[in-house]
Structure 1
């Protein structure tokens, strides 16, 4: 395969950076205003580009929103994967505890926009129903694999994995409410640890 010309490579990198900037702006507006409150005019203005230029990157508002949602999903999955890799080879309980802790950190500290966009969806068009279900399934699979392994190894004994996981996601969605702004760091750490501990109780019967 022939090497790509250096000039062409620079153009591609510049385009990727601008595209990422547009997606970041769209995500910020979605976080603050929801789908109905986001317009391409606002995205263009806040990204400091012409609306006509925006169409070179995204063909429609829905295409841009879809890119923003997928980017958020990938970032969450990457953070969870990094946390799982960092703890190394451990049992299912310890691994699940780390993943729950990381997800709470994502929702309340490192990427609170995830909670705003996914945990409390506001006025999403029907066209996003299936894509968002798919994103949620991919996210659920990260936790499901650990729980199923724990059940198989005898670490977990929950009678219904599906119900337990639904309850877990409910707890995670509420985390951004429980760990709202204003908490002292020590109180935040204690409350997050308590939430993780109680969440694990879902997977141990008796």
Structure 2
């Protein structure tokens, strides 16, 4: 007979949470190193040192460098897409202009506050191994689809005036990725600058 099942489950739950936190720390460190050194320059030793763990412990969580890189890409993709969908849901029922502005503002927040490394990582990407290339392409397609659906609605309603929405979308990402490089995440005084970046980005789509 098993006694006190709730009390026995508690330590296991705490252990799982500790593992999740440690794993998240490794992924965050790997993202930082990938953005500064690229895929070729990312070493397990550097990730272990930055997270203050033994290299053997890192291998316990991720059996290879590529497994760690895959986890970085999956985590980044999932979180960014979730945040964009939440921003879009919050603007549901509003105009395409308001919805696109909400997406642009959230994307800028992601790139300058939550994941300032991501803009650098994908603005000037170094060659990736073939096993990651398709994952990155899929990530970009899923990401762009969220924006493109709103842009297409804006064009259909004649709120937006952009002859080539694909080019306009590429230009939008160029603006936001570049802004992530020079906008500091800890500068409250730059709130107005961020608002200006969003406003200027909208000029790619909104009729004058």
Structure-2-length-normalised TM-score? 0.82
Q: Which residue of 1 is the match for residue 51 of structure 2?
A: 47
> How far is 1:200 from its partner?
2.0
| Superposition pairs of residues 180-195 of structure 1, within 5 angstroms | 180-181=183-184, 185-186=188-189, 188-195=190-197
- The match for 2:159 among 140, 151, 155 is 155
C-alpha separation in 1, matches of 2:47 and 2:187: 35
- The match for 1:196 among 195, 198, 201 is 198
Structure 2 unaligned blocks of 5 or more: none
C-alpha separation in 2, matches of 1:168 and 1:197: 11
**C-alpha contact 1:26 1:68 (8 A) present in aligned 2:** yes
Structure-1-length-normalised TM-score? 0.82
1:70 match: secondary structure = helix
> How far is 1:71 from its partner?
1.2
> How far is 1:100 from its partner?
0.9
Q: Which residue of 2 is the match for residue 116 of structure 1?
A: 120
- The match for 2:30 among 26, 30, 44 is 26
C-alpha separation in 2, matches of 1:12 and 1:185: 36
> How far is 1:39 from its partner?
0.8
> How far is 1:132 from its partner?
0.8
C-alpha separation in 2, matches of 1:183 and 1:13: 29
State the superposition RMSD in angstroms. 2.8
**C-alpha contact 2:116 2:185 (8 A) present in aligned 1:** no
**Structure 1 residues 58-67 or 104-113, which shifts more?**
104-113
1:167-204 Cα deviation digits (max 9, x unpaired): 22222222224x43499744x33433333223222224
1:129-185 Cα deviation digits (max 9, x unpaired): 2111111111111211111121222322322222221222222222224x4349974
Q: Which residue of 1 is the match for residue 74 of structure 2?
A: 70
Structure 1 unaligned blocks of 5 or more: none
